[in-house]
Chain A
Amino acid sequence: MAEPFLIGDRMTGGYGAADILHDCTVAVDKGQIAVIVGPNGAGKSTAMKAVFGMLRLRGGQVRLNGEDITALSPQDRVAKGMAFVPQTSNIFTSMTVEENLEMGAFLRRDDIRPTIEQVYDLFPILRDKRRQAAGELSGGQRQQVAVGRALMTQPKVLMLDEPTAGVSPIVMDELFDRIIEVARTGISILMVEQNARQALAIADKGYVLVQGRNAYTDTGKALLADPDVRRSFLGG
């Protein structure tokens, strides 16, 4: 089997003395969507943070395009083509939408206008609100700003930590549509989702974590069809 584009391979680690992740593996292929689901406290967000270098690993590796990046800081990973959208405080509330996007592209020295236009094409509402402070926007619009900011580095991998937390079901569907669109442009997407059923429906690959371990790993469709997964995590 070919090596996935980004893989957190057999990761073990936690914040303090106790480990939260045990031999946990998550990976995503080029241009695909991988979704991490699981009950509360299963270590979903922790797994994301570990892949992004915000957590010191006691065991395992993170590899991007075959290169071992386990020792790199999150900033260095951004430079390598990874982007991360945290679950909360993921925008600069006091700055305008456009300034948020500019800050996303802080590391770039070339012309960022075309990328800003691409983000506006993806999220047309942001074009109308570009001079408005991002903190004044609705929950769904803020998430669009957050994703837009992350896209400004022209990443190869986009990591989303519960992008649909706290938004209405209609907005959630729309966000998922946009995420699929982003994936179609060749960007790999690794995301944690609370809305497991909808997320698995759009996922190429799904990871069910339980207590920091891989419980089930399969394609999104297969997991949705798996009676064990349905009973335990999807409410029947």
Chain B
Amino acid sequence: MDILNALVVFLNFVFIPATAYGAQLALGALGVTLVFGILRFSNFAHGDTMAFGTMVVILFTWAFQAIGLTIAPLPTALLALPLGIGATALLLLGTDRVVYRFYRKQRTSPIILVIVSMGVMFIMNGLVRFGIGVGDINFDDGGRFLITAREFREMTGLAEGLAIRSTQVITVVTAAVAVALLFWFLNRTRTGKSMRAFSDNEDLALLSGINPERVVAVTWILTAALATTAGVLYGLDKSFRAFVYFQLLLPIFASAIVGGLGSPLGAIAGGFIIAYSEVMVTYAWRRVVTYLVPEESVPSGLMQLMSTDYKFAVSFTILVIVLLFRPTGLFRGQSS
């Protein structure tokens, strides 16, 4: 029995990576939930919006590196983030102007908007692939580790090491700041409250003199900020590849729906639920178990419930279960 080492293995391979991943999903799901709450449709282009924002950030990162502008030990990408958010906001506002506004004026049903957003998704998909290619891009140039596994072992004398990568800490801190800012905006400012009012009761918001076009514009800007931040954090933590970002759509939607579409708090909870489940179901637990049971009873298998190739099945299963038993999500969001 060696509970301490088991705990270190668990933290190192499950808890810390899943927390960073959960924070990234939560930011992505917040964007989806915001668009759903205000514009009342599921935005399938969200994954590719993340990819677009990240692409712009990578391009600026390269430009900054070329002229020697860095903020070591922090990654240069954080410096380029505001520019990426700006460019993405322009893209989304432009898309709204040429695509979504037309359908909004016609008061089309949400399902048509969902399909329209799929079209937008393919366009953005193409934009990103033309812009930066389909390959794997690593753009993290900051310090690698806060604590390396070796340092930790030497410090504690334990057999197992605990590595904390700087990108994981940056992810969690940035996500926390972004969420705090978002909630402050929605609950304390006039514009934020008017967005909640619009989401709650559109007709009454109009009767109160709230300008719908302004609410929609602010929503797209916030969505751009959240999507770009989520994309950049994911890319720093892992790497950037256009196709992977497109695939992120499933866990992000699962997070938003599990929490309850339209509920910001639900999106955050959903993000962490999906992330922890995905990592825990696909993790090979053998190494943790080795420390917890006598040597002779350690099973010979990997003790992995599912191969990591199937990780999307986990989000999908949770999604189906939630939709069956609590269709409005854990935090009672809107249903449409």
Residues of A within 8 A of B (CB): 74-75, 78-79, 84, 86, 89-95, 99, 102-104, 106-107, 149, 153
Task: Out of B193, B196, B207, B210, name the residue touching A74 (CB < 8 Å).
Answer: B207
Tell me the complex Cα distance, A86–B197, Å. Answer: 16
Task: Out of A90, A102, A107, name the residue touching B204 (CB < 8 Å).
Answer: A90
Task: Out of B194, B200, B205, name the residue touching A94 (CB < 8 Å).
Answer: B200
Tell me whether B204 and A92 are in contact (CB under 8 A): yes
Kindly provide the distance from the CB of B104 to the nearest chain A CB, expressed in whole angstroms. 16
What per-residue 1/0 map shows which CB atoms of B146-178 lie under 8 Å from chain A? 000000000000000000000000000000000
Tell me whether B194 and A89 are in contact (CB under 8 A): no
Residues of B within 8 A of A (CB): 190, 193-194, 196-197, 199-201, 203-210
Kindly provide the distance from the CB of A120 to the nearest chain B CB, expressed in whole angstroms. 19
Known: A94-B200, A106-B209, A149-B208. 13 other contacts (CB 8 A): A75-B209, A78-B208, A84-B207, A86-B203, A92-B205, A95-B200, A99-B196, A102-B193, A103-B193, A106-B194, A106-B210, A107-B208, A149-B204
Kindly provide the distance from the CB of B183 to the nearest chain A CB, expressed in whole angstroms. 14
Tell me whether B206 and A74 are in contact (CB under 8 A): yes
Tell me the complex Cα distance, A102–B205, Å. Answer: 12
Kindly provide the distance from the CB of A111 to the nearest chain B CB, expressed in whole angstroms. 13
A to B CB contacts below 8 Å, 29 in the list: A74-B206, A74-B207, A75-B206, A75-B207, A79-B209, A84-B207, A86-B203, A89-B201, A89-B204, A90-B204, A91-B201, A91-B204, A92-B197, A92-B205, A93-B200, A94-B196, A95-B193, A95-B197, A99-B193, A99-B196, A102-B193, A103-B194, A103-B205, A103-B208, A103-B210, A106-B197, A107-B209, A149-B204, A153-B209
A92 and B209 in contact (CB under 8 A), knowing A102-B193, A103-B193? no
Tell me whether A92 and B206 are in contact (CB under 8 A): no
Tell me the complex Cα distance, A149–B209, Å. Answer: 12
Kindly provide the distance from the CB of A27 to the nearest chain B CB, expressed in whole angstroms. 22
Tell me the complex Cα distance, A108–B193, Å. Answer: 15
Of A75, A79, A90, which is in contact with the most chain B CB atoms at under 10 Å from its CB?
A75
Tell me whether B200 and A106 are in contact (CB under 8 A): no
Tell me the nearest residue of chain A to B262, going by C-beta: A94
Tell me the complex Cα distance, A91–B205, Å. Answer: 9
Which residues of B sit under 8 angstroms from A78, Cβ to Cβ?
Answer: 207-209
Tell me the complex Cα distance, A94–B333, Å. Answer: 11
Tell me whether A106 and B204 are in contact (CB under 8 A): no
Task: Out of A93, A94, A106, name the residue touching B208 (CB < 8 Å).
Answer: A106
Which residues of B sit under 8 angstroms from A106, Cβ to Cβ?
Answer: 190, 194, 197, 208-210
Tell me the complex Cα distance, A86–B190, Å. Answer: 23
Tell me whether B204 and A95 are in contact (CB under 8 A): no
Which residues of B sit under 8 angstroms from A79, Cβ to Cβ?
Answer: 209
Kindly provide the distance from the CB of B70 to the nearest chain A CB, expressed in whole angstroms. 44
Tell me whether B208 and A104 are in contact (CB under 8 A): yes
Tell me the nearest residue of chain B to A94, going by C-beta: B200
Which residues of A sit under 8 angstroms from B196, Cβ to Cβ?
Answer: 92, 94-95, 99
Kindly provide the distance from the CB of B33 to the nearest chain A CB, expressed in whole angstroms. 14
Which residues of B sit under 8 angstroms from A149, Cβ to Cβ?
Answer: 204, 208
Tell me whether B194 and A92 are in contact (CB under 8 A): no
Tell me the complex Cα distance, A89–B208, Å. Answer: 13
Tell me the complex Cα distance, A235–B163, Å. Answer: 82
Tell me whether A103 and B197 are in contact (CB under 8 A): yes
Tell me the nearest residue of chain B to A105, going by C-beta: B208
Which residues of A sit under 8 angstroms from B210, Cβ to Cβ?
Answer: 103, 106
Tell me the nearest residue of chain A to B211, going by C-beta: A75
Tell me the complex Cα distance, A107–B197, Å. Answer: 14
Tell me the complex Cα distance, A89–B207, Å. Answer: 12
Tell me the complex Cα distance, A92–B201, Å. Answer: 6
Tell me the nearest residue of chain B to A104, going by C-beta: B208
Tell me the complex Cα distance, A75–B205, Å. Answer: 10
Tell me whether A92 and B200 are in contact (CB under 8 A): yes
Tell me the complex Cα distance, A164–B157, Å. Answer: 74
Which residues of A sit under 8 angstroms from B197, Cβ to Cβ?
Answer: 92, 95, 99, 103, 106
Kindly provide the distance from the CB of B107 to the nearest chain A CB, expressed in whole angstroms. 14
Tell me the nearest residue of chain A to B193, going by C-beta: A99
Kindly provide the distance from the CB of B199 to the nearest chain A CB, expressed in whole angstroms. 8
Tell me the complex Cα distance, A95–B197, Å. Answer: 7
